Amino acid sequence: MHTDLTIGSIKTHLIKLSIPAITGYFFHTMFNVTDTFFAGMISTQALAALSLSASIFFMILAIAIGMSEALTSLVGNAFGEKNVSKAQQIALNGIVFALILSFVLSIFGIISVPYLIEALGDPSYATQTLNYVNAILYATLFFIGSFFFNALLNATGDTVSFRNVLIVTAFLNIALNHLFVNYLHFGVVGIALATIISEFTTMTYLFYKLRQTKLWSGFKNFTLDFKIMEELLKQGFGPSMNMFMMAFGMYVITYFVAPFGKEAVAGFGVGMRIEQIFLMPVVGLGIATLTIVSQNNGAKLYKRIAPATNLAIKYGFIMSSVGILSFYVLGDSLASFLTDDKIVMQQSLLYLRICGFAFYGFVLIFIYLSMLQGIKKPSIIFPISVYRQVIAPIILFSVFSFFDFEIHSIWLGLDAIILSSGIYLWWYSKRRLKELL
């Protein structure tokens, strides 16, 4: 089955789609929180290694995440056109594309990761970082498969299956971490193995659910269509580069934070894990927005696009305010759960209380990027990503470094960059919507 989002209440659709997505991504984030918790039990070096690993591995996965979002848009538009056979062919070609992409990214990652780790110049946790990332890279197919199968389910209006399997695998990940780290003493490699097994379980279940939808027609009906591949690359380039630049931006930030010591790097990692939990509602709203806009754009019901986008922005701002308040009231308790190193706790608390205000910028960025993908106008995503993740941080943080500014200046600069990007996207998206209408 699939949900027809071109009729009915936009508010109802937004809530119905976003709540399961929020719940699912919350438990997906708990994977990272669990890994951070067990790394903290090993050592501060292991905690710093996971912080660096997150940015490096996310760079590898970013391209796949962006492409999977493009797949949601293409299939959603086909459903909006009431063309089920077209949607089925896009889905099958998308799966083949995912297989090819998994192989390419895995090889690229294995070759490039040692150089990325060496560039930071801190050997105290370089070996642990390399051991963790290499283990994960060999399982790239499981991660990419999960993203693509979930993207196809999202296009049908199903955000519940992802939620359900992530609830189960989040607890599985905890049990496996406990086994591999505390009993078998595998160190950071044990943390990686727990994640790999959990991700394989997720991918298998999502494929099973996909086979139960009318989107699945079986590979007996598969026809390799290079036009679909080309359209997927065209629509996915902007979102992929956006996600890649987000990951590279994390690496850039880590590069400028590293001179303040491993505690600062670890504190940044802990802060990001906590931040990601509170960003989950915004991610869920973005997924719901993409799905709703895609179907209505395909059906040429353009007047339903602005109300859906504006409502998602409103809900996002409310949730962001709750998150910012939580950092000031509960920040100490949240950080202490993931580390008992007092310096790391102080660094993570400083990050959260300053960068929390960037949440309003994230709302504008996530929702408007989803809207632009839904209307198949993602071209602005790449340049705005380059500005937000590369050009502005490198220039601004280099100036701060030259004048020996303290670490809080980096977090203030990050706020300014994210908020300015969000405001520009708001202005740009309004213009695009007027052109569409």
Domain definitions of the chain by residue range: 10-436
Residue type, 117: I
Instruction: Answer whether residue 415 shows pLDDT above 80.
Output: yes
pLDDT class for 386, splitting at 50, 70, 90?
A: confident
Q: Which pTM value belongs to this model? A: 0.72
**pLDDT, position 135:** 82
pLDDT class for 422, splitting at 50, 70, 90?
A: very high
**pLDDT, position 121:** 53
pLDDT class for 40, splitting at 50, 70, 90?
A: confident
Instruction: Answer whether residue 247 shows pLDDT above 80.
Output: no
pLDDT class for 421, splitting at 50, 70, 90?
A: very high
Matching residue, tokens 């496996």: 176
Instruction: Answer whether residue 122 shows pLDDT above 70.
Output: no
pLDDT class for 146, splitting at 50, 70, 90?
A: very high
> What's the CA gap between 120 and 329, in Å, rounded?
34
Long-range contacts of 220-227 (CB under 8 A, 24+ apart): 221/88, 221/92, 222/89, 222/92, 222/93, 222/96, 223/89, 224/93, 224/96, 225/89, 225/93
**pLDDT, position 332:** 82
Of the listed ranges 3-12, 225-234, 345-354, the least confidently predicted one is 3-12
Contacts with 81 (C-beta within 8 Å, 6 or more apart), sequence order: 298, 299
pLDDT class for 52, splitting at 50, 70, 90?
A: low
> What's the CA gap between 261 and 121, in Å, rounded?
12
**pLDDT, position 224:** 85
pLDDT tens figures, 70-83:
888 888 888 888 88
**pLDDT, position 325:** 92
Mean pLDDT of 343-362: 89
**pLDDT, position 54:** 66
Instruction: Answer whether residue 116 shows pLDDT above 80.
Output: no
Instruction: Answer whether residue 2 shows pLDDT above 70.
Output: no
> What's the CA gap between 342 and 226, in Å, rounded?
55
pLDDT tens figures, 90-108:
999 999 999 998 998 888 8
Of the listed ranges 57-66, 146-155, 280-289, 322-331, the least confidently predicted one is 57-66
pLDDT class for 111, splitting at 50, 70, 90?
A: confident
> What's the CA gap between 18 and 3, in Å, rounded?
14
Nearest to 278 by CA among 345, 344, 346, 326: 326
pLDDT class for 356, splitting at 50, 70, 90?
A: confident
> What's the CA gap between 168 and 201, in Å, rounded?
9
Query: What does pLDDT average to over the chain?
Result: 84
**pLDDT, position 280:** 81
Percent of the chain with pLDDT over 70: 94
**pLDDT, position 291:** 84
Mean pLDDT of 24-38: 75
Contacts with 253 (C-beta within 8 Å, 6 or more apart), sequence order: 55, 268, 393, 397, 410, 414
Contacts with 244 (C-beta within 8 Å, 6 or more apart), sequence order: 59, 62, 63, 66, 385
